[in-house]
Amino acid sequence: MENVSIDSIWKKCLHGDRKAQYHLYQLFSKKMYVVCLRYANDSLEAEDILQIGFVKVFTKSHLFSDHGSLEGWIRKIMVNTAIEVQRKNKISYVEPLENEIAHQRTHHTEGDHLHYKDLITLIHQLPIGYLTVFNLYAIEGYTHKEIAEMLRISEGNSKSQLSRARQWLQTRLLKIEALTL
Amino acid sequence: MKNQDIDKLLRDHFNKLDIQPSTDIWKKIETELDEQKVISINKKTTRLKVIGTAAAILVGIGIVSLVLQRQSANRPYHIKYADRKMDREMNTPPKATSKVEPLPIERQVQLSVRPVNKGNQRENSSANAIETNMKVVAIQTSQAFERLKMGKQQPLMVVVDTQTQVAHVLEYIPIKPLIENPDEENSMMASTGTNSQTVVTKVLNVLSKTINQGNSAEVQFSNDDEGSLQIDILNSLVKNKKRKRKK
């Protein structure tokens, strides 16, 4: 039933129906915002990615062919937008030097979501290169080959970054678990 | 495998997250969508404008060409009409009740009127204005057409007065060309026409005569305005005069 309503909303979006577009935005914005948060340095950047992403969704709506899930298509747009924004900010996905690991990024997460704060904070502490690869592989489910194409790096680079990310997270998570216990 | 556990752990956690983006993001999205709409409409209108102006230009050209065609077709109309009509009239047995209307005589046709006599030679004399000396001689229709037949090459026109059923033969002078026969023009170049002769030229002319025995003087010498020697080549195949100057 929900699918039917999404279909009808989407058809209206294809014609530029502003109300339908707003409705679609309300349906998907939360999920997509989380996706953006995972990739961004902070919530401000995440909002930028979200905004650009949705504009793309509505202006390129004719490109979505009906097979496959709409949510998956929108998500892909968000991920690609995030990578684009990172590229604009000249993020390199080459293995970072030792001193970069110590770099801590600021975050502006809401006070209400305290129980998520740790994870988001944690994620944002990862060097962006590790984080992106981890996101793409572990969360989005891309292969190393695909990641290599998207980020214009070698497959080996992708693999090594992933393993480093995992190592890093592992140690941090253990600490968090220790804290919450 | 701990790797996969880590992945799953984080994945599950992220899926459960429910964070609301700030409310003004939608407004930003809307603004940008409106801008994009305006851009696409502008592209469409400029396209339409281009097509529209192109169509208008084509229509304009078409109308102008039509008008020009009509204008050019109007001029020799009356003369052609006369000739055509006359041909028809001549082939059919001439009737007194011919309904030939007086042909429109426009300013381009200059008429000079001569008394119609059989055996007279028609000559192109200087043209007179239409308003002066319009004498027409009444003549029987059949005779008029006979005249036409004989002098078909000559510029004649037969006008039948519908009221009196009398045929008049008019001679009209065709339009004088602005330029005389270009083949014959030899006065295009600014020249005095007369060639002055000096002792030198006279001697040279005698020489050329003796060399070209019997032939008409093809090469002659004379002096031009400034006194320089000039060779005149007569009867040359070349239309332009060649002038060689010797000082």
Cβ neighbours of B12 in A, within 8 Å: none
Question: pLDDT tens digits for B226-239?
Answer: 878 888 887 766 55
Contact A133, A165 (CB under 8 A): yes
Q: Which site among A24, A28, A34 would you substitute to test the B interface, given the most B Cβ atoms closer than 10 Å to its Cβ?
A: A34
State the nearest Cα–Cα gap between A112 and chain B, in angstroms.
Answer: 9
Question: Which residue in A55, A109, A166 is closest to B29 by CB distance?
Answer: A55
Look at residue B128 in the predicted model and tell me its pLDDT. 43
**Mutate: best of A49, A118, A139, A174, partner B, most B CBs <10 A:** A139
Task: Please tell me the pTM assigned to this model.
Answer: 0.49
Q: Write the DSSP assignment of B159-189 as a string of letters.
A: EEETTTTEEEEEEEEPPPPSS--TTT---SS
Lowest mean pLDDT among A7-11, B3-7, B58-62: B3-7
Of all residues in chain A, the percent with pLDDT exceeding 90 is 49
Closest CB from A51, A116, A139 relative to B19: A116
User: CA dist B2 to A171, B5, B8, B168, Å?
Assistant: 12, 5, 10, 125
- Chain A environment of B18 (Cβ under 8 Å): 30
User: Which residues of chain B have a CB within 8 Å of the CB of A27?
Assistant: none
Chain B residues in contact with A55 by the CB 8 A cut-off are 29, 32-33, 36
User: What does the block give as tokens for B117?
Assistant: 């006599």
Q: What is the mean pLDDT of residues A10-17?
A: 88
pLDDT given for residue A65 in this prediction: 84
Condensed to tens digits (0 to 9), the pLDDT of residues B30-44 reads: 999 998 888 888 888
CB-CB under 8 Å, B33 with A21: yes
- Which position has the higher pLDDT, A138 or B72? A138
Query: Using CA atoms, how far apart are residues A93 and A86, in angstroms rounded to an integer?
Result: 10
Q: What is the pLDDT of residue A4?
A: 58
CA distance B130 to B172: 10
Q: Do A116 and B11 touch (CB under 8 A)?
A: no
Between A119 and A70, the higher pLDDT residue: A70
CA A42, distance to chain mean position in Å, is 12
Tokens of A87: 């590229």
B220's enclosing H/E stretch is strand B219-223
Residue A83 pLDDT > 90: yes
Task: Tell me what pLDDT residue B73 has.
Answer: 75
* Range in B13-27, B111-125, B214-228, B232-246 the model is least confident about: B111-125
Burial B172-187 (b: 16+ CB within 10 A, else e): bbeeeeeeeeeeeeee
Give the closest residue to A136 by CA, choosing from B11, B121, B49, B37. B11
Partners of residue B158 on adjacent β-strands: B169
In chain A, the residue whose alpha carbon lies closest to the alpha carbon of B28 is A51
SS3 call for B157: strand
Q: Quick: pLDDT tens for A100-126.
A: 444 444 444 433 333 556 777 788 888
Q: What is the pLDDT of residues B156-193, one digit of tens each?
A: 666 666 666 666 666 666 677 776 666 655 555 555 55
Instruction: Using pLDDT thresholds of 50, 70 and 90, give the confidence band for residue A175.
Output: confident
Rounded to a whole number of angstroms, the distance from the CA of A142 to the nearest CA of chain B is 13
Task: Supply the pLDDT for residue B20.
Answer: 85
Q: Which of the two residues, B164 and A154, has the higher pLDDT score?
A: A154
- Cβ of A47 and B22 within 8 Å? yes
How far does B66 lie from chain A, in Å, by closest CA?
46
B81 half-sphere exposure, CB direction, 13 A CA radius: 14
Q: Check residue B109 and give its pLDDT.
A: 42
**b/e A85-123 (16+ beta carbons within 10 angstroms → b):** bbeeeebebeebeeeeeeeebebebeeeeeebeebbebb
Please report the pLDDT score of residue B56 as a whole number.
95
